[in-house]
Amino acid sequence: MTKTVLESLNKTVIIGHDEPFCVIGERINPTGRKKLAAELEAEIFDTVRHDALHQVSSGACVLDINAGVVYNTNPNPNETEPILMEKLITLVQTVVDVPLCIDSSVPAALEAGLNVTKGRPLLNSVTGEEERLEVLLPLVKKFNVPVVAISNDDTGISEDPDIRFAVAKKIVQRASDFGIPANDIVVDPLVMPIGAMATAGQQVFKLVKRLREELKVNTTCGASNISFGLPNRHTINATFLPMAIASGMSSAIMNPTNPDEMSAILAANLLMNKDANGSKWIKNNRSLDQKTESNGSIGERRRRGDRHRRSSPR
Amino acid sequence: MTKTVLESLNKTVIIGHDEPFCVIGERINPTGRKKLAAELEAEIFDTVRHDALHQVSSGACVLDINAGVVYNTNPNPNETEPILMEKLITLVQTVVDVPLCIDSSVPAALEAGLNVTKGRPLLNSVTGEEERLEVLLPLVKKFNVPVVAISNDDTGISEDPDIRFAVAKKIVQRASDFGIPANDIVVDPLVMPIGAMATAGQQVFKLVKRLREELKVNTTCGASNISFGLPNRHTINATFLPMAIASGMSSAIMNPTNPDEMSAILAANLLMNKDANGSKWIKNNRSLDQKTESNGSIGERRRRGDRHRRSSPR
């Protein structure tokens, strides 16, 4: 089955259909975080350090690094963003040892990031836009890294999932022309807010299945978009993620410090038989239920032959 | 698409692929509830009354009624269970107006229940066991009611999902011989505990898809079985249900008074476009997030044309 291999200096993370769901931590990103943006412009990196550690201790397998600060002193991101990207990546690599996801709309910032990243990072992102394909696919090939492919193109983001699928297919084909294999492309089918489009959830579930079965690619998404504008967003997100996982989604770019979403992902891994002997689940929930723990590990219970009970306890 | 029509005196509930998920309240069942069993033997019905009201106010669409008390004074359920079933159903019908699910392993109790139930109840259940098929399918035909079909047979419960599918197929075919259509059969593919069988979740998700696509039937399950023996059961259940819903499950027999599971089901309905304008979601979560509420209903936002934002708020 499809495997996308990411590496840090010492760690390998595989995004794959047969792997536990890969959580890509989204916090190191100044977009919508005024305080962080101001800190970065002032070359203060305490929040970045904290966010790197906190996300990894919360269960992120990969960290997204976005240096998209609009400087008050210089509004040209082509000049400022590559420099900041280098600084952020260099710093984060001294704090944690997980693969990185280099996230920018500025090609020079992506290249600057690639030059200083150890291991095999994920590049975020190429789209179906012609200019972006022409600039970025050679970079992907040169550095031999996997890339996030977002399914919009020069016409924008289509509300028609068939068109979004066609854009993804085009990117996979164009990448193939450059010698980039499908397993190094992680498609983001684009998650619309369910509050703006009632079919947004169903679109994602169907697209993920098609992308997996027809294009043989891994998938990712900005998961929290689904609940934009609605009350009790965490429950919507924590419900959406398992449904996407059941449909075949293999990763998400998200906030790993939200316990609702992370618990749902751990449970979904357990339910998809991607948590051997339930050891991660039991380890993470031991303190919640000491009584049950005394029943022993799943492995022990399986060996003892505990079986199905027709009537479930209440 | 497949529709299973249930009725109480004044209400119609449809279990269906295009309908909101149908929650069948499981609480009125003395199995594993010693206190309730003792009350029922003593002809005390306060708990039944309370459970009927509480389950319906919590969101149950249908109530399961099980009269399986083992009497100290008479251990023969063939004599005691039909009488108690009549009493319970008659009582519950005075308290709430929702369709009932008549649940017994004693055919005479099922028939007694059918005789006193108003509307069109669900019969729970037939299995692939020959003797049970011979006795119950004529009853199903005579009363023109839908029936839960559990996918075990005279050889027991198979751990092989292909065999469980074959048992379900046999029941659908045998029912067809009696003139009972597939849309009046709600298959329970049997949920094993994930703690005893690591593939239990995946088995259910695949079986539900096959049952829906190949046999065109609705499905149900005893949902909480999945988490038996594990810590933090509510989170496992609340993750399992949306994954089963994404796979096509149309109902479950469960405890509707658990808020984790019920919130997950409401969110799953929203994400499957089975909550028009998100009105149920917003109504149920209004108090949780007054600020978001001021954005207006989903319908208003859609009409205003609020759309996708690439960067989600954090």
Closest-CA distance, A168 to chain B, in angstroms, reads: 17
CATH code for the domain of B88: 3.20.20.20
Judge: A278–B195 Cβ closer than 8 Å, yes or no. yes
Do A220 and A83 share a structural domain? yes
Asked whether B103 and B125 are in contact (CB, 8 A), the reply is yes
- pLDDT of A303 above 60: no
For residue B298, what pLDDT band results from cuts at 50, 70 and 90?
Answer: low
> Could you tell me what percent of chain B has a pLDDT over 70?
91
Which chain A residue lies closest to B243 (C-alpha atoms)?
A243
For residue A160, what pLDDT band results from cuts at 50, 70 and 90?
Answer: very high
Chain B residues with CB-CB distance to A238 below 8 A? 239, 264, 267
Smallest Cβ distance to A229: which of B202, B263, B301?
B301
Do B310 and B204 share a structural domain? no
- pLDDT of B302 above 70: no
Which chain A residue lies closest to B196 (C-alpha atoms)?
A302
Return the pLDDT at B288. Answer: 57
Do B232 and B296 share a structural domain? no
Mean pLDDT for the stretch of residues A76-96: 97
Do B34 and B142 share a structural domain? yes
Among B29, B35, B164, B39, which residue's Cα sits nearest to residue B104? B29
**Structure tokens, A308:** 């199905």
pLDDT tens digit sequence for A258-299: 999 999 999 999 999 999 999 999 999 986 554 444 444 555
Smallest Cβ distance to A312: which of B194, B199, B224?
B224
For residue B286, what pLDDT band results from cuts at 50, 70 and 90?
Answer: confident
Q: What stretches of chain B adopt beta strand conformation (E)?
A: 3-7, 12-16, 22-25, 62-66, 100-103, 122-127, 147-150, 185-188, 218-219, 251-254
* Disruptive mutation site among A205, A271, A275, A286 for chain B (greatest number of B CBs within 10 Å): A271
- pLDDT of A79 above 50: yes
Do A241 and A107 share a structural domain? yes
Whole-angstrom distance, CA of residue B222 vs CA of residue B240: 11
Whole-angstrom distance, CA of residue B242 vs CA of residue B244: 5
Give chain A's mean pLDDT: 92
Do B201 and B73 share a structural domain? yes
Chain B residues with CB-CB distance to A247 below 8 A? 246
- pLDDT of A97 above 50: yes
Smallest Cβ distance to B278: which of A225, A230, A309?
A230
Which chain A residue lies closest to B313 (C-alpha atoms)?
A32
| Chain B (2-41) residues lying within 8 Å, Cβ to Cβ, of chain A | 26-27, 29, 31-33
Judge: B271–A243 Cβ closer than 8 Å, yes or no. yes
Do A267 and A309 share a structural domain? no
- pLDDT of B12 above 50: yes
Work out how many domains chain B is built from and give that number.
Answer: 2
Judge: A201–B271 Cβ closer than 8 Å, yes or no. yes
Q: Is A196 on the interface with B (CB under 8 A)?
A: yes
CB crowding B181-190: b at 16 or more within 10 Å, else e = ebbbbbbbbb
Do A296 and A223 share a structural domain? no
Do B83 and B194 share a structural domain? yes
Q: What stretches of A214-273 adopt beta strand conformation (E)?
A: 218-219, 251-254
Judge: B226–A271 Cβ closer than 8 Å, yes or no. yes
Do A175 and A68 share a structural domain? yes
Among A160, A217, A218, which residue's Cα sits nearest to residue A24? A218
Higher pLDDT, A118 or A290: A118
| Chain A (267-286) residues lying within 8 Å, Cβ to Cβ, of chain B | 267-268, 270-273, 276-278, 281-282, 285-286
pLDDT tens digit sequence for A124-146: 999 999 999 999 999 999 999 99
Among B235, B312, B202, B272, which residue's Cα sits nearest to residue A248? B202
Return the pLDDT at A298. Answer: 56
Mean pLDDT for the stretch of residues B131-143: 97
Do B240 and B103 share a structural domain? yes
Whole-angstrom distance, CA of residue B293 vs CA of residue B281: 11
pLDDT tens digit sequence for A199-227: 999 999 999 999 999 999 999 999 999 99
Whole-angstrom distance, CA of residue A224 vs CA of residue A261: 10
Do B297 and B182 share a structural domain? no
Cα-based torsion angle of the residue sequence B213, B218, B224, B225 in order, rounded to the nearest 10 degrees: -60
Helix (H, G, I), strand (E, B), or coil: what is residue A263? helix
> Could you tell me what percent of chain A has a pLDDT over 70?
91
* Domain interval for residue A308: 280-314
- pLDDT of A100 above 50: yes
Q: Is A112 on the interface with B (CB under 8 A)?
A: no
pTM greater than the 0.90 cutoff: yes
pLDDT tens digit sequence for B182-217: 999 999 999 999 999 999 999 999 999 999 999 999
Return the pLDDT at A307. Answer: 39
Chain B residues with CB-CB distance to A229 below 8 A? 292, 295, 301, 306
Return the pLDDT at A1. Answer: 80
Whole-angstrom distance, CA of residue A294 vs CA of residue B194: 17
pLDDT tens digit sequence for A230-268: 999 999 999 999 999 999 999 999 999 999 999 999 999
Mean pLDDT for the stretch of residues B151-161: 94
Mean pLDDT for the stretch of residues A119-126: 98
